[in-house]
Amino acid sequence: MRKYIFVTGGVCSSLGKGIAAASLGSLMECRGLSVRMVKIDPYINVDAGTMSPYQHGEVYVTDDGAETDLDLGNYARYTMSPLSRANSITTGQIYQEVIQREREGRYLGRTVQVIPHITDRIKQRIAMVGDQPDVDVTIVEIGGTVGDIESVPFLEAARQMVHELGHENVIFVHLTLVPDTAGGELKTKPTQHSVKEMREIGVQPDILLCRAPVALNEELRRKIALFTNVAMDAVISAYDVQTTIYEIPLVFHAQQLDDIVLRKLQIDAPPADLSEWEHVVEVLRDSKRMVTVAVVGKYIDLNDSYKSIDEALFHGGVANSVRVQLRKIDSEKLEKAEDLDEVFQGVDAILVPGGFGSRGINGMVRTANYARTHAIPYMGICLGMQVMVIEYARNVLGFEDADSTEFGPESGHPVVSLLEEQVNIKNYGGTMRLGANDSRLMAGSVIRKLYGSETIRERHRHRYEFSNQYREQLHNAGLLVSGVTPDDSLVESVEWNGHPWGIGVQFHPEFQSKPVATHPLFAGLIAAACTSRGARSAERPQPQVAESALPAES
């Protein structure tokens, strides 16, 4: 019988359901089980592709080209669960599918209603993900919080699955808030009310993950258990960890969360092997060496805008046994900065990530020029690679008006231009070059040495490409074309000739990096950062670090 775990949230959003669900998935895998992950987003958008990073954080792209919620990135980093468009469910998708079926007459003239038609389609979509004989557990995260009107059909569908499959096959893990008052006292009332709302819609949580700044004592856990009808041993303290979010599976395991889940689902499994996670935490906690990486982007104000990149940089640190400190820099502010030496003082490497629109582009161009002329290790991802091309054309070839047609459509030297098949497309939802594609790496290139392979497969999300019109000129001038598509029609990566480490890639390697399996480009960048200036002692006074490197939330 298929087993399902629903992860829900209460009181307020952004408590960390995605990290909690991913951590639970990692624990199940450490017990030898095969896991599948599903994210349900109650918004009416069909996918996250047209949503601003300021609204929703980064867009995570799967191999099959789905533009999804950033929590799928958490699933990818914590688990081995394969991810595709099937693993991301939104209200927009469900209603679109049901309406399409109604238009096709597949409901035989019946009145189409939320129950049963919408809820049936939700259950079908969930079942599709784990409907393989080798899958042991499907973990389904329902976005939003209990009480949100948008989440009601999904919670109702989950409630129905308990009755259809039996409580030994479907359980609920509810993440809720235990806030502290001005005096430091932890209050359980918000958790009590959250569980009450769940029970009012017919769902009794089996396990509570209680988000609090510190671990709950036995008295508080007993009180929560009494008022929520949850067994005391199933009231888990999801407190703020002091090192890294990758410590959370260890925190949950120490409280026997995996044992409780397996007991309730009646699954026999071998003991957990958490040695890989222990190693990751050990490096991030105990390493005395540190490097500083500047991330120069357009969406710096929201930390989740570059979530996968931030985490991949930390993974690079694990691979090199160093701690990575992030310095977030708004590229728009660099357009007018007078002294870049001051801005990049103490920086060991620079990364320019992807983005859309003209805002802040010249600040990125200045950044690429500074890294190139000051021999600072540099990685450009997607837009960051295109910026390398623009900078080189302007400052080495002397094409002062060199630009991308995205930013300068009247440029006399459009070194980056729109994909030919995209020229007349006006519907921006899902119209880019999306998903995994093969690339061929040139012999003797740095990037080929890093991958150790001639052919690689990476994910893309962009509309604009390196213009082949300028390919030979730039290559001969020292901007080496180090990667192309198998048919040699598109440029996939470039390198600065003679530079310690300067690589730009049109794809998004951050989507395939894990703390226990660092992507070679991020491992290489951090290794270059260590070599170029030497790791500074972590014991010296440090500037403020990025939020994702601070004590993290569950």
Active site residues: 382, 508, 510
Residue 278, helix vs strand vs coil: helix
| Residues 500, 373: Cα–Cα separation, whole Å | 11
CA quadruple 319, 286, 17, 28: dihedral sign: positive
Give Cβ neighbours of residue 307 (< 8 Å, ≥ 6 apart): 57, 58, 70, 73, 548
* Rounded Cα distance, 328 and 335, in Å: 15
Q: How far is 119 from 125, CA to CA, in rounded Å?
A: 10
Count of CB atoms situated within 10 Å of the CB of 93: 20
Nearest to 435 by CA among 86, 64, 47: 64
Q: Are 49 and 152 in contact (CB under 8 A)?
A: no
- Which one, of 322, 289, 247, 280, lies nearest residue 517 by Cα? 280
Of 415, 408, 406, 387, which Cα lies nearest the Cα of 475?
A: 415
Does residue 151 sit in helix, strand or coil? helix
Tell me if 307 sits within 8 A of 508, measured CB to CB.
no
On the 0-12 / 13-18 / 19+ scale of CB atoms within 10 A, 412 is exposed
Q: How many helices (H) and strands (E) are present in the chain, helices listed first?
A: 19, 22
Work out whether the CA dihedral 248, 508, 493, 365 comes out positive or negative. negative
Of the candidates 146, 235, 154, the one whose C-alpha atom is nearest the C-alpha of residue 199 is 146
**Residue 444: exposure state from Cβ atoms within 10 A (0-12, 13-18, ≥19):** exposed
**Burial bucket for residue 335 (CB in 10 Å: 0-12, 13-18, 19+):** middle
Tokens of 237: 């303290």
Angstrom distance (rounded) from CA 91 to CA 151: 9
b/e sequence 274-300, b meaning 16+ C-beta within 10 Å:
bebbeebbebbeebebbbbbbbbbbbb
With H, G, I as helix, E, B as strand and everything else as coil, classify residue 329: strand
Can you tell me whether residue 463 is helix, strand or coil? coil
Cis amide leading into 116 (omega within 30):
yes
Spatial CA neighbour of 277 closest among 523, 514, 5, 33: 514
Which two tokens mark 383? 């837009």
